[in-house]
Structure 1
């Protein structure tokens, strides 16, 4: 070999050494060793892989952010990795099991910019036997203590061509309801919002579901397919599209990005990973939190058979249902109103859009609410109320104190239709205030659950699900949809599916 060739080989080897040494690689595996999360930090990017039993599931997926202060994801260095094992047992007041044992390995990777600004974000990864979860944490630091976020650039680049079970949504403001598509991954539409959880089944039976946990003071996420891969898209602040999340103080953190994994699709139903990623219960006395069987007069059309009065917003209609509840051992009677008029004053006469002067503390006079409340109490029947979220939020503490005095058991809070950062905060404020007044909450027209039921077990359900109420006006709900729901939306938590009707009709008469 000539001296020139030797020099060339030496230069190539030196270049390769420098390139490799500039990379930082680290990984964390589940306790059973089957699941592994691998992280790669280079001067150009931060990316991760996930494999299950050595089968690549997600590969070369980028991590990063776009802030008002610039991009975060290039020219980073990983600091000293911290590791720990988590093994805890906790009780669930509401959930699929009463006791959960949560076991995982955790890895925290400090990622800091090499530039003068030196912004620092910690990536925290937990490897469970049935899934991988990671989130970003913003610790207190001298040079950076607030942000305006334009995008979270988290990717989920699935390998192969699994079958996908997912739902498209028309935009960020939506009812979170729709029909599911069951197609090969390469046939998933591009540049359309995809609701989470989204489920993917590989040809060898391995199943993956992508969703998020512990959504608090942050925007909810959707998926969009771009250039063959999936990327997270956050709901923007209302009235514009650029700003997704804002905070004026650190520490702050994102929700957990969750990839549930099982060797069969049914195994996805068995995990408690979402509640395990949430904080412990914040309600000291939970003895009052119990299931509640209630009438729901909207569902069955306020019918009052074998009676001599007309149904409506009146005492007699509600007495009829209170008597029915008492005879049949139901816990509560649900009051929502009649036709397009809620039970409380609303100057808009439209359930979906509350008027500017709607007041959930002022029952309409013809209802005679004091008499209804007293009669229900005499029969040992509680009260369940429907309310639109906006006028409720306007008078949250006043309304809940009033309802507690009435003997209300819980509420259906409806038409939320958003999961931007503001609405996520509003939902938690409603749960906190309701807990102080011993009220359970059913969110309707709302975004998916994220395991918050562990922290606030007075959250019973979130309805944002195309369900049997649609049978009153359409034929969209069928057996395929019934089967899709447990393996998609219900992986995130309980929902209302509007069952319990006793008067059935053929589809031709819906």
Structure 2
């Protein structure tokens, strides 16, 4: 009887003038504000529509596939079965933006079969949440369809408005572009072909990468992305600027005529649309992680969220270098007496960072440039075999450093720059991760700068998706957590593999130190919070105190105020957060350093207090274990005053709030170091108005 009731609820019959019955398969969100309809047209082509608050936001959008040596799978279908169901659970993040996550949706599964001789089958599964939708294709086992060689996936999102759109180009090789803000009809990704600041780039279509976020005239917010990207190519979205249509374009390869090769049965990643009435709700949405499978790792207690320092920023400033000055002699790296004396990863220098971290409640130290090979990896076509991930330079004693760090209660974070030579890294992962395990090192930052080897592959194609994911699985066997740079996009797999702790995948802090276009503008992070951050944690490396680094690079700076750098520890989420500046710059600024000492990295609860995409955002997060709250707010190039309501605090409790805010004369360019500190008592009934300077922000510690 229960199934009968579901069918009556989910199928709508409409009678037209021709007296023909049209059947729509309808599924609502649990709160009934979202409605998804599915149907076949007269040609047997599957399509769907989505309505939000009684308004169509995605109109008739078709679905299907193209293959090599096979007819496209997109028409001549009939519906052979369908099923409606409801699911509701609460699961816990081992670390994350919150402890408890509600996973509540209604599902429609439609089973299709061709009416033609080939008789192929295809299932489409829709999940409708209060905060958006996800759908994926399932290719069931079938007698005459054994392998799919997909040349394109024809997933459409047919929009009903010329949305204000925040986008980066659909680059098959890198995500490190600045965001553009235009109407959807004005998207022109091809103008970014061959960007001067990028180590690798390939933009073949007028397409955008995901997440891409849009804002409508009535305040509706949409963000398009994907979830659970496994054994498949990354999806870009080609923009039809005339018809306001998005269509999937999978990342391909020069080494094959297909973009995805899969043996049946299999399913695709989820195609996702987050939908809300406000920008704040986009950040609070957990749609992406909810569409992933539960945790597959048994014991994950070996990783602890932490702040870290490291030998990194000094290389970008030019104070030191990654390489030592060795030479290749008879196939081996040898010290021939030509060391240049500027090597950063020395035992002595790393100990300095360890001492500083131990004194300031910072749990880790990242060391880049510790292993041989840095002398020749940039600019060389044949980069296979350059790095071996176990051999140190002569001035770096890895075992001594690890022993020293453990005595101080600090963990060393390993660094593996692969130079995108994937075969070398794959062959050596067991050896490299075993070394880490033997030393008790549980975190590694991986890097993939440069064109992918083997030649012809791209960072975001199926080959590399599999490489990145297999690296995470391999690392888990050795109790190692991965922080990937130059990565594949985050798609919520951190739920399935919690050792996927963070990643880059955006234009990061280092662009401020060396980019030729003036670095990241003040609007960059107020856009990132509502675009890239929706995908998952970001290793952005905040905390630059020496904002105008005239002693090193007088033509570059960070386009921020000091108060905003503090705010980023709360606004930009990651379970690892770097205090990225040099030790000497922190030691002469003990007052703002106190916030870095205090701020948490692992959260019980997150509240987005206000925000508008590209303009400003304020986020409050409650630390696990201590119950302390921290608040961060940032703005773009415009000064503004943000009103803060502390209704999220506990009833009948008084808190001490320490506020780090822009001074009266602060300005991201003219006076970035102007900082004021205010201490006051607050309760949940308190309301404050906090002024933010141009490019500024504020950070707040709230302790009972």
User: What is the CA–CA distance in structure 2 between the aligned matches of 1:195 and 1:233, rounded to whole Å?
Assistant: 10
Q: What are the residue-to-residue correspondences of 1:251-330 with 2, within 5 Å?
A: 251-301=265-315, 311-330=343-362
CA deviations 1:398-448 (Å, max 9, x no partner) are: 211111112213111112671211111111111112222222111111132
2:466 equivalent to 1:429: no
Matches within 5 A, 1:138-217: 138-169=139-170, 171-173=171-173, 175-189=174-188, 191-217=205-231
Map 1:60-79 → 2, pairs under 5 A: 60-68=60-68, 69-79=70-80
- 1:8-54 superposed Cα distances (whole Å, 9 cap, x missing partner): xxxxx99945xx45x65312111111101111212422211111011
The correspondence for 1:402, drawn from 421, 435, 449, is: 435
CA displacement 1:174-208 (0-9 Å, x = unmatched): x2111111112222237412010111111111111
| Aligned equivalent of 1:6 | none
Query: Secondary structure at the residue paired with 1:260?
Result: strand
Between the two structures, name the one with larger relative contact order (CA 8 Å, sep ≥ 6). Answer: 1
Measure, in 2, the Cα distance between the counterparts of 1:231 and 1:63: 10
Matched, 1:493 2:493: no
TM-score by length of 1: 0.89
Structure 1 residue 276: Cα displacement? 0.7
Does the CA-based 8 Å contact 2:319-2:342 persist in structure 1? no
Query: In structure 2, do the counterparts of structure 1 residues 330 and 506 end up closer, same or farther at CA, with 3 Å as the change threshold?
Result: closer
**1:348-398, Cα deviation, whole Å (9 max, x unpaired):** 343998832221122233423233233333333221122124343221122
Q: CA deviation at 1:94?
A: 2.9
For the residue of structure 1 that corresponds to 2:350, the secondary structure is helix
Give the number of the structure whose residues are more often helix, by fraction: 1
CA spacing shift, 1:70–1:297, aligned 2, 3 Å: same
Matches within 5 A, 1:15-164: 16=18, 20=20, 24-44=23-43, 45-68=45-68, 69-164=70-165
Q: Counterparts in 2 of 1:217-228, with a 5 A limit?
A: 217-226=231-240, 227-228=242-243
Q: Deviations over 1:183-235 (max 9, x none)?
A: 12222237412010111111111111111001011111011113521101111
Alpha-carbon distance between aligned partners in 1 of 2:107 and 2:367, rounded to the nearest angstrom? 47
Distance 2:107 2:233 in 1: 24
Q: Residues 81 and 110 of structure 1 are in contact (CA less than 8 Å); yes or no, is this contact kept in structure 2? A: yes
Q: Tell me, what secondary structure is at the counterpart of 2:390?
A: strand
Who is 2:684 aligned against?
none
Question: Judging changes above 3 Å, is the alpha-carbon distance between structure 1 residues 504 and 24 closer, same or farther for their aligned structure 2 residues?
Answer: same
- What SS class does the counterpart of residue 306 from structure 2 fall into? coil
Q: CA deviation at 1:143?
A: 1.8
Matched, 1:243 2:258: yes
Rounded to whole Å, the distance in 1 between the matches of 2:187 and 2:365 is: 44
Could you tell me how far apart the structure 2 residues matched to 1:476 and 1:422 are?
32
Deviations 1:448-477 (A, max 9, x none): 211111111111112011122111013231
Assess if the C-alpha contact under 8 Å between 1:431 and 1:456 holds in 2: yes
Relative to 1, partners in 2 of residues 1:329 and 1:53: Cα closer, same or farther, differing over 3 Å? closer
Post-superposition offset of 1:267: 1.2
| Conservation of the 8 A alpha-carbon contact between 1:217 and 1:421 | yes
Supply the distance in 1 between the matched residues of 2:379 and 2:299 (Cα, whole angstroms).
34
Q: Give the Cα–Cα distance (whole angstroms) in 2 for the partners of residues 505 and 409 of structure 1.
A: 34
In 2, the alpha carbon distance for the partners of 1:132 and 1:470 equals 35
Instruction: After superposition, give the CA deviation of every residue in 1:100-145 in whole Å (9 maximum; x if it has no partner).
Output: 1111100000111111221111000011011011000111122212
Structure 1 residues 145, 349: CA separation in 2 closer, same or farther (over 3 Å shift)?
closer
Provide the rounded CA distance (Å) in 2 between the counterparts of 1:96 and 1:327: 27
Deviations 1:311-349 (A, max 9, x none): 534322222222322333322221111xxxx52346734
Change (3 A) 1:295 1:231: same
Matched, 1:438 2:454: no
Unaligned runs of 5+ residues in structure 2 are: 1-14, 190-204, 321-340, 450-457, 557-704
Equivalences, count: 483
5+ unaligned residues in a row in structure 1: which ranges? 1-12
Q: 1:112 to 1:83 in 2, by over 3 A?
A: same
**Structure 1 CA distance for aligned equivalents of residues 126 and 145 of structure 2:** 23
| Structure 2 CA distance for aligned equivalents of residues 343 and 501 of structure 1 | 26
Determine the structure 2 residue equivalent to 1:8: none
Paired with 2:209 and 2:406, the residues of 1 have a C-alpha distance of 42
- Tell me the secondary structure at the aligned position of residue 363 of structure 1: coil
Whole-Å Cα distance in 2 between the matches of residues 393 and 354 of structure 1?
16
